[in-house]
Amino acid sequence: MAGKVESQELDLTKLDKILSRYEGQDDALISVLQGVQAEFGWVPQGAIEHIADAFQISPGEVYGVLTFYEQFYLTPRGRNTIRVCRGTACHVRGTNANLRTVERTLGIKEGGTTNDFKFSLETVACLGTCFLAPVMMVNRNYYGKLTPDKVETILKQYD
């Protein structure tokens, strides 16, 4: 799986399909990049140049936008994305211990991806589910009122 992600050739037909959804919309750069991110899981370099051409701007400008927003990744991501919330409510209810547990269990730091491309770890400013604090999300699933041992059990459910 790991090899497959890395050697993935950029599928230009998929990219053009995303671009065609926003044809003629000058303001759609971020939407296109979001589409690419959703399709490929990251934004490959080849895509940047292609998108810059389509919008008739310099690749550097696209790169500037990409690196401004946290949502975008310039390297391949894991199959499952863990988002540990660092919101205020989570902070005062001890989210740091959970984050450390994830980091220790997976052997990666915030922003990292495991070597087997099973998990990527992110922290987010606030998931807006403060009543569940401390919270993390794995893909689209929320896990609330977490403790370090609950975290370990949850991670085992994914592959």
Partner 1 sequence: MGKIRTADELDSLRQSIIEKLDPNKTCVRICMTGCRAYGAEEIRDAFDEEIKRKGLEDKVEIRETGCHGFCARAPVVVIDPQDIFYQQITADDVVDIVDKTLIEGDIVDRLVYVDPVTGGKIPFAHDVPFYKEQTKNVLRNCGIIDPTNISHYIARDGYAALSKVLTNMTPEQVIEAVERSGLRGRGGAGFPTGRKWRLARAAAGDTKYLVCNGDEGDPGAFMDRAVLEGDPHSVLEGMLIAAYAIGTKVGYVYVRAEYPIAVEHIKIAISQAEEVGLLGKNILGSKLSFEIRIKEGAGAFVCGEETALLMSIEGKRGMPRPRPPFPSESGLWGKPTNNNNVETYANITSIILNGADWYSRIGTETSKGTKIFALAGKTNNTGLVEVPIGIPVRKAIFDIGGGIPDGRKFKAVQMGGPSGGCVPEAHLDLPIDYGSLEAIGSIMGSGGMIVMDETTCAVDIARYFLSFTQSESCGKCTPCRFGSKVMLDTLTRITQGQGVEGDLELLESLAQQIKDTSLCQLGSTCPNPVLSTIKYFRDEYEAHIKEKRCPAAVCDALCSYYILPDKCQGCMICLRACPSEAIEGGKRMVHIINQGKCIKCGTCLSVCPARFSAVAKVSGEHVPTLEEPIPVSTVTKGG
Partner 2 sequence: MGDITLTINDAPVTGQDGMTILEVARENGVDIPTMCYLKELSPIGACRLCVVEVEGSRNLVGSCHTPITEGMVIQTHSPRVVTARRMVVELMMANHPDNCLVCDAANQCELRQVAADLDVGLPSFKLKKHYYPIEDISPYLVRDLGKCILCQRCIRACDEIAKQKVFNLAYRGFDCKVIVDLDQPVDKEVCRDCDVCVSVCPTVALRKPKKQGEEKKGPPLILSQ
Q: Of 18 and 62, which has the nearer Cβ to partner 2?
A: 62
CA dihedral for 77, 80, 86, 92, sign (positive or negative): negative
**Of the two residues 49 and 152, which places its CB atom closer to partner 2 in the complex?**
49
By CB under 8 A, tell whether 26 contacts partner 2. Answer: no
Q: Establish if 58 lies at the interface with partner 2 (CB under 8 A).
A: yes
- The least CB distance from residue 63 to partner 2, in Å, is 5
The rounded distance, in Å, linking the Cα atoms of 110 and 11 is 29
Nearer to partner 1, 2 or 94 (CB): 94
What x-and-dash track marks residues 28-57 binding partner 1 by CB under 8 A?
xxxx-xx-----------------------
Give backbone dihedrals phi and psi of 40, rounded to 5 degrees, phi first: -100, -15
Cα–Cα distance between 17 and 159 in angstroms, integer?
30
72 binds partner 2 (CB under 8 A): no
Binding site for partner 2 (CB under 8 A): 45, 48, 57-61, 63-64, 67-68
